[in-house]
Structure 1
């Protein structure tokens, strides 16, 4: 098996080292790679290529590890060197639409295109970081390369009956949650430290450790449609506390906006009976339709 890496930043270098340790031949290219990094990777067995060229046709698969903004241009250039039967793994953070465009370029050459989303921290888990793979994962060449990569130690989870763009879509939605949680953690920790209650904060949040994420999120959404008004007032009270601590309340302004959107739609639920998650989503969807959307 011979794998090519386009982009040798943190992700590309991590993959190169893991694949080489597994005994896989690896070629790599990165115009921004400095001499020290190039020498180090070459010493580990990586073949450094100066430019894209005929050598790409000798590969079984190519992994594109550039930034999302450069993905289409790189895939366009890469496609000119591909041949039928090769497999391209796009590990970039390009949007679903951009990935589908890249897939068209690659597939026009007879190669397969797989959308890969890195679902964890390369810095923490390295070569074994979980990755989600979407596209025609059951196509013979794709399935063969995936098996080899999994045997080498990569944690690749194939999405059955998926399309290009599905993996990165899930990653970006996940980022809404994780990056939002990160921002909230910053505000909570800084404010708790100001009032001298940081250690106690961990204790009062400890009950969340025992709740599976699916149940936790669904419960928040189901109860949200019933208690949005009361909870929005609580957010306002929390803003006053942050102000007292000298912490910006801009993040909570956005949180209040979400509650206000819910209160702007006609309320369908009365009493204390919770809606199902499907019913809650249907109601909340009325508040998130783009401006100008017309019901059919």
Structure 2
């Protein structure tokens, strides 16, 4: 890709990581917007011949690309301020942890200024893998982002043309990964106290050999019909944890979910057919329970 001029918003770990990487690829850093610059950021900008700024301003007009790496709570406000200073046909790359809703609002703002917008979700630890951390991206200009960042060595997956989708997928991934992490901690600590950790890995081999998508869809497809029986098993498993001196937290949440499904099953029959039908039944079940809690009925 031809050499571009870029600006950074946020000079923390993420900003410095990708700032260094882009400079090493031969791109020119114009400046960094950061109100509390660290010594390492000052050193980076000095080496690159760039300035540090306390706000958005005319200095952003020369940037072909602006990369935002601020806190998610500040992302929309920062984007609005920066976009007002950028020239038409430039590109704004949002690598923050902003909500999907804020990503969509920032994209709308960008369109009003004639600026391209790409929602980028970092799906790993930058402090461990640096610029090679896997990335998800969404937006009509996602191709431009891929062209610019592909030489940094990061696996990049374009997930669609709608900004906010990358942010949503990162959070959906977190539901699974962080939930699995928490459940694994409860399971392995209990197994360790019981002296059965090695044996546990053996009895889980059948799950380990199943493709993840197959496993997830199988759990959904069989959940509704078997919820009453599995609810009882979860209660017994929680009792096992307590007997080993460990108070269940995640498993208590699982117990509540199975209990909700079992109660709904008493009012309406389980769906037949596809995983899609089961998912819709469960979605409706969750919404009905929420409405009941809200109305007090």
**Common fold: TM-score over 0.5:** yes
Quick check: 119-128 or 230-239, which moved more?
119-128
Question: How many matched pairs?
Answer: 284
Kept in 1: contact 2:45–2:52 (CA 8 A)? no
Kept in 2: contact 1:38–1:48 (CA 8 A)? no
Match of 1:47 among 50, 57, 62: 50
C-alpha deviation, 1:292, in angstroms: 3.5
Match of 1:97 among 89, 101, 123: 101
CA distance, structure 1, for counterparts of residue 178 and residue 196 of structure 2: 24
Question: Against the structure 1 CA distance between its residues 40 and 117, is the aligned structure 2 distance closer, same or farther, given a 3 Å change threshold?
Answer: same
Structure having the higher helix fraction is 2
Alpha-carbon RMSD across the aligned residues, in angstroms, is: 2.2
CA distance, structure 1, for counterparts of residue 127 and residue 66 of structure 2: 22
CA distance, structure 1, for counterparts of residue 270 and residue 49 of structure 2: 62
C-alpha deviation, 1:259, in angstroms: 1.0
* Partner-residue secondary structure (3-state), 2:77: helix
Which residue of structure 1 aligns with residue 170 of structure 2?
171
Kept in 1: contact 2:138–2:163 (CA 8 A)? yes
C-alpha deviation, 1:145, in angstroms: 4.4
C-alpha deviation, 1:48, in angstroms: 4.1
Question: Against the structure 1 CA distance between its residues 259 and 48, is the aligned structure 2 distance closer, same or farther, given a 3 Å change threshold?
Answer: farther
Question: Against the structure 1 CA distance between its residues 46 and 202, is the aligned structure 2 distance closer, same or farther, given a 3 Å change threshold?
Answer: farther
* Partner-residue secondary structure (3-state), 1:49: strand
CA offset digits 1:22-59 (Å, max 9, x no partner)? 22222333223322x12442365373422332221111
CA distance, structure 1, for counterparts of residue 58 and residue 110 of structure 2: 16
Match of 2:116 among 112, 121, 139: 112
Task: Within 5 Å, give how 1:207-222 maps onto structure 2.
Answer: 207-222=206-221
C-alpha deviation, 1:207, in angstroms: 3.1
C-alpha deviation, 1:269, in angstroms: 3.9
C-alpha deviation, 1:126, in angstroms: 2.0
* Partner-residue secondary structure (3-state), 2:93: strand
Question: Against the structure 1 CA distance between its residues 46 and 5, is the aligned structure 2 distance closer, same or farther, given a 3 Å change threshold?
Answer: farther
Matched, 1:70 2:71: no
Question: Against the structure 1 CA distance between its residues 46 and 90, is the aligned structure 2 distance closer, same or farther, given a 3 Å change threshold?
Answer: farther
Which residue of structure 2 aligns with residue 82 of structure 1?
86
CA distance, structure 2, for counterparts of residue 32 and residue 197 of structure 1: 51
TM-score computed with the length of structure 2 as normaliser: 0.87
CA distance, structure 2, for counterparts of residue 192 and residue 144 of structure 1: 49
Which residue of structure 2 aligns with residue 288 of structure 1?
286
Which residue of structure 1 aligns with residue 295 of structure 2?
none
* Partner-residue secondary structure (3-state), 2:8: strand
Kept in 2: contact 1:130–1:156 (CA 8 A)? yes
C-alpha deviation, 1:170, in angstroms: 1.2
Question: Against the structure 1 CA distance between its residues 215 and 53, is the aligned structure 2 distance closer, same or farther, given a 3 Å change threshold?
Answer: same
Question: Against the structure 1 CA distance between its residues 121 and 38, is the aligned structure 2 distance closer, same or farther, given a 3 Å change threshold?
Answer: closer
Kept in 2: contact 1:264–1:287 (CA 8 A)? no
* Partner-residue secondary structure (3-state), 1:177: helix
Question: Against the structure 1 CA distance between its residues 264 and 69, is the aligned structure 2 distance closer, same or farther, given a 3 Å change threshold?
Answer: same
* Partner-residue secondary structure (3-state), 1:173: helix
* Partner-residue secondary structure (3-state), 1:33: coil
Kept in 1: contact 2:132–2:152 (CA 8 A)? no
Quick check: 232-241 or 148-157, which moved more?
148-157
* Partner-residue secondary structure (3-state), 1:132: strand
Which residue of structure 2 aligns with residue 29 of structure 1?
33
TM-score computed with the length of structure 1 as normaliser: 0.87
Kept in 2: contact 1:6–1:64 (CA 8 A)? yes
